[in-house]
Amino acid sequence: MPSRSRLDPRLWFAIVGLAIGVSASQPALGHAHDAIALEPPTEPMTGAPTEPLVAPPPAEPTWRFKQAERPVKVVVLAGSIGAWPKQPYAEELERLCRNVEVHNLSQVGQGAWALKKRFKDQVLRNGRLKLRDESLEHWLVYGGGLNSVGTPKSTNKHMRDLFVLAHGHGMKVVGLSLTPWGDQSERKWRGFEGLEHRRVTQAVVDFTLGRLSPAQAFGEYGRKRPGGVEAPWDPSELADIGIDLYDSQLRDREAPVHDFEATRAALAKDAKWKRARAALDEPARALALDIDAAVLAELPRWFLRKDLRSFDHIHPNAQGHEIIAATMCPTLPESWGCTCEPPVVAPEASAVEQRE
């Protein structure tokens, strides 16, 4: 197989996707104001991609860290964004932070459950690692959740379980929020479905950044948590450092918004919206319509900037990965030895660059 650095990223994702039984074009699977704190009728949301039912067989964990002069050992674990083959943020971290050695375990198509399993198989069962060596720091940089975002409470629970596992084995955790994604050229990003994609994305973002209560984060998926969802957070359940990539330079803050009145009128006729709000009385329904229309009208400003897209609206290009690393850098521990550089953000990339 050719070196992945020489492959067009789309071809590389397609090859890897076929190898693990998922499509590279499958969207990895939003709450700006959570209209009157309403939940959708059911979960998962209709049409939302979820993680594969059968995980690929684990590879034998034979990798190890090799650079003795870099005492901060970092495992990056994410889906296809983390697995991006062209100047990924994992490589940028190693370039910016002189004390850091990175091993990237990201894999295309894996949701929160599959990433948790991959962590067990490749880190916890890897006898070559020295997780208890007090002369070293071990960190997990977690950037997953998009492939299973359609079931946010389940995704949050698997992420929580992974953070507990990492902490229990002497690692600390950097939690990367989901990145902006979506495009209203796709039908699923219009009307009530667009609201739902925005809501579920924000729900996973908010857990990663420690903004939710256990009940909000997990719902019924938290019933087996010690103390149930009523117990306060234990620090081991949350990331030590949370990085907000969703509301960052990656998102298209200057995108034109939709006309509010036109959006409101269209949403009022949306059959899915009417079913979801059917239990409300007339004043509450009118208020919900105003709030939901405002969120929907501003939706384009929560998408990945067009000049930072690779082959689709989900995967940032090389410049986008540079922005991810630059956004992380100022918040990372002093022990990492990072020299932070502001990303070079061009106002607009060429059509050729956008296709990369």
C-alpha–C-alpha distance, residues 187 and 272, integer Å: 13
pTM across the whole model: 0.84
- Number of compact structural domains in the chain: 1
**57 is written with which tokens?**
């067989």
**342 is written with which tokens?**
């502001």
CATH of the domain at 145: 3.40.50.1110
What are the residues whose beta carbons fall under 8 Å from the beta carbon of 82, sequence distance 6 or more? 76, 88, 89, 90, 104, 106, 143, 144
Domain assignment of residue 143, yes or no? yes
Domain assignment of residue 99, yes or no? yes
Phi-psi region of 90 (alpha: psi -120 to 50; beta: other; left: phi over 0): alpha
pLDDT at residue 6, as a whole number = 45
Hey, is 208 helix, strand or coil?
helix
Domain extent for 191: 69-257+298-340
C-alpha–C-alpha distance, residues 189 and 182, integer Å: 7
Q: How many CB atoms lie within 10 A of CB 349?
A: 17
Domain assignment of residue 10, yes or no? no
Domain assignment of residue 171, yes or no? yes
pLDDT at residue 11, as a whole number = 55
Contact 198, 32 (CB under 8 A): yes
Q: Are strands 241-243 and 172-176 parallel, antiparallel or unpaired?
A: parallel
Tens-digit pLDDT string for the chain (356 aa) = 334 444 555 554 554 444 333 333 333 343 332 222 233 333 455 445 555 455 556 667 989 999 999 999 999 999 999 999 989 999 999 999 999 999 999 999 999 999 999 999 999 999 999 999 999 999 999 999 999 999 999 999 999 999 999 999 999 999 999 999 999 999 999 999 999 999 999 999 999 999 999 999 999 999 999 999 999 999 999 999 999 999 999 999 999 999 999 999 999 999 999 999 999 999 999 999 999 999 999 999 999 999 999 999 999 999 999 999 999 999 999 999 999 988 766 555 443 444 44
Domain assignment of residue 17, yes or no? no
The DSSP line for 21-41 is T--TTS------S-GGGPPPS
C-alpha–C-alpha distance, residues 74 and 95, integer Å: 13
C-alpha–C-alpha distance, residues 120 and 343, integer Å: 34
Using CB atoms within 10 Å of the CB of residue 272, give its burial: 0 to 12 exposed, 13 to 18 middle, 19+ buried. Answer: middle
Domain assignment of residue 201, yes or no? yes
Side-chain-side CA neighbours of residue 59 (13 Å)? 8
Domain assignment of residue 346, yes or no? no
Domain assignment of residue 123, yes or no? yes
